[in-house]
Amino acid sequence: MYKIKYIPTGHEFLLPDETAKELKDKFPNDYKILEKNGKKFSDKRTVIKFKDGSIRELVLDKERK
C-alpha cells in the first residue's frame, strides 16, 4: 500500500500499489508519494520547464492575450 498526497488540495490517500503508481505516472506534478508499505519514502518532484524559462504564461490572465 502507498500513502500519497494530492498536492493541490493537501489530501492524503492510502492506495494499492498499482493505482498509486498509475496516478504518479499520469500526473507527476500533482501527486507525491509519502510512504511505501508503511515506510517513509523520499519522492522527487519533477520540475516543469517552459519554452522561455519562466512561469509568465501561468501568471497572466488568458483573456488579456
pLDDT on residue 46: 60
Q: What is the mean pLDDT of each run of 10 residues along the chain (65 residues)?
A: 90 92 86 88 68 66 57
pLDDT on residue 47: 61
pLDDT on residue 28: 82
Print the SS3 string covering 24-65. Answer: HHHCCCCEEEEEECCEECCCCCCCCCCCCCCCHHHHCCHHHC
pLDDT on residue 1: 92
pTM of the complete model: 0.61
